[in-house]
Structure 1
């Protein structure tokens, strides 16, 4: 996910002309995200410790999309990120936890968003390279990546590896004069083996198609520069048809057939459709209305479905979905 200022974005003027039920309560969402680290007396705060660094990334991303990138203290964010850095170059979700690919990606994304790579190099000599070597150490002979030293593999971890390395500027194609740190051809062969007859992708070869895995596989193909050459127009049509069928009568999207809608798929499904130029196959008006029904207009934040409890995970992906839909007042997100 990358952010770019778009025409008419970042201000509230256009949104003020919308009917009340279609307005995003920007200031409430900003205040909600700012409040998250003040809730240390609540049980939920401690139960979600294993997601802490990703939670910071989700909150920062939402704030950038809302046009308030400086709403969290940069120094405090960097201090927490560096506390989670391990000697082997990986990042954990919080102090006292093991390093993992997913949290290493979140840490790298945070550093990129707050322009923190300079501080990383000051903290650790050749810090970017050290992080990249940790990521590369998790690639397996068949091209896939493990999440950590215990060896679980998943296309999420491959996408995380390619995303983080691209942000670090250390993908093989970004360093043509250096020996490659990872085997891109093997990684792409594994991603392609995860595609199913219905056009979707699973977590491993033969696994059921799932919108989240479609995102990770399309993201990996896109970062490697192979999504167009691999899928072609016919492949994009087939995948786009499967993705567009994720929209239900409520306007919301689900992750796979016969499942409930969930606001987070506003990002997973639509960003995948954006990567294959099929975003217009979604009913944008109905999806916009569904996402906005999931917001808490009084306290801020978005939930998975209307009436449920809000959380930062669904807040960021609901707001990112609205950005892809071109909702007024938001910074434009580039899924490619």
Structure 2
């Protein structure tokens, strides 16, 4: 089923296109996160340099569909602006003109904006100010962020989503970046990995979320030289052939992005073994119907397919576009975003003094 020598670009493009048309029954439990699945499919096609596979009329349909999930709070209501993942939980109250649980979710807002930018949308229908207010509304006293206004998890994943949204919209509003950085620094463990929340085990995915959030908010310099070196060591030690997310765990395709992007931001990815990484990623591709899985000869999915391609981008795979590590979009989409930001109301940009990846101009 797999081939370690070549990437099946056309089959992977077809794989993503199928997920834009119909979700298989095995993904029924992900119905409330359709926007994120669209992100993997659209941005995956972009990284494959195959975005033109989507017909122009379909591009407009996807853009219109995404804007259907934009939520803007009305005056006097609870601040809950952002994007939903689908309409699954839009429950109307009988005899009242309100819909309960119709509020933005940080992960859906981040992936919706990233998908719109990748599709070439001008973002003129985006209520940027309302979205930033929605981000600020879910920041907690400890500096972390909840996924949405009520009844949701709060941890490093949503710290990243909040930072990515603010960076993409070039506006931090009343978000307390300093408190956010404090939360991140308190989550660095004894081994220099970063945990999902205080006093938990260090994890590759949340280490990326922490490092990227610091970079996007211009606060990477809050990491001491000793901490940065410790992080590099912890990250580099996650490589077996591919990368694992934690010590003593099996390797997994997606960590070629989570660990790889973290090392890219810290300017240390060159210390990894490119060929071993590439060989592992390609061993998980399905050469019959396309797609990548977390392990060889297991079920493929859009999540691991997208992150497998990102991992191949980091090792300079021919035909794969370059990735902007901290925003997790192609450099082509990132340049488009910078162009859009240039047309918005002038304000001081958030610069990252420690890394040249942010400022590509």
TM-score, L = length of structure 1: 0.85
Shift of 1:82: 1.5
Greater helix fraction, Structure 1 or Structure 2:
1
Aligned counterpart for 1:65 among listed residues 38, 41, 47: 47
- Alpha-carbon separation, structure 1, partners of 2:295 and 2:4: 16
- Secondary structure of residue in 2 paired with 1:131: helix
- Alpha-carbon separation, structure 2, partners of 1:132 and 1:239: 31
RMSD of Structure 2 on Structure 1 (CA)? 1.6
- Contact 2:5–2:282 at 8 Å: present in 1 too? yes
- Asked if 1:31 corresponds to 2:14, the answer is yes
Q: Which runs of 5+ in 2 are unaligned?
A: 74-80, 90-100, 327-361
- Contact 2:285–2:292 at 8 Å: present in 1 too? yes
Aligned to 1:169: 170
- Contact 1:39–1:45 at 8 Å: present in 2 too? no
Q: Equivalences for 1:89-100 in 2 at 5 Å? A: 89-97=81-89, 98=101, 99-100=104-105
Q: Per-residue displacement from partner, 1:35-92 (whole Å, max 9, x unpaired)?
A: 123335x422433212210011111111111111233331121122122222332211
Q: Residues 205 and 213 (structure 1 numbering): CA distance in 2 closer, same or farther, change over 3 Å?
A: same
- Asked if 1:212 corresponds to 2:205, the answer is yes
Aligned to 1:226: 219
Aligned to 1:290: 280
- Alpha-carbon separation, structure 2, partners of 1:58 and 1:164: 17
Q: Residues 92 and 153 (structure 1 numbering): CA distance in 2 closer, same or farther, change over 3 Å?
A: same
- Secondary structure of residue in 1 paired with 2:70: coil
Q: Which runs of 5+ in 1 are unaligned?
A: 1-19, 122-126, 172-179
Q: Equivalences for 1:114-125 in 2 at 5 Å? A: 114-121=119-126
- Contact 1:112–1:167 at 8 Å: present in 2 too? no
Q: Equivalences for 1:106-145 in 2 at 5 Å? A: 106-121=111-126, 127-145=127-145
- Asked if 1:76 corresponds to 2:61, the answer is yes
Aligned counterpart for 2:313 among listed residues 323, 330, 333: 323
- Contact 2:106–2:158 at 8 Å: present in 1 too? yes
Aligned counterpart for 2:110 among listed residues 93, 102, 105: 105
- Asked if 1:257 corresponds to 2:252, the answer is no
Q: Per-residue displacement from partner, 1:125-163 (whole Å, max 9, x unpaired)?
A: xx1111111111111122211111225210111110110
Which structure has the higher relative contact order (CA within 8 Å, separation 6+)? 1
- Alpha-carbon separation, structure 2, partners of 1:151 and 1:295: 34
Q: Residues 115 and 170 (structure 1 numbering): CA distance in 2 closer, same or farther, change over 3 Å?
A: farther
- Count of paired positions: 300
Q: Per-residue displacement from partner, 1:185-229 (whole Å, max 9, x unpaired)?
A: 1111111111111111011222110000100000111111222x2
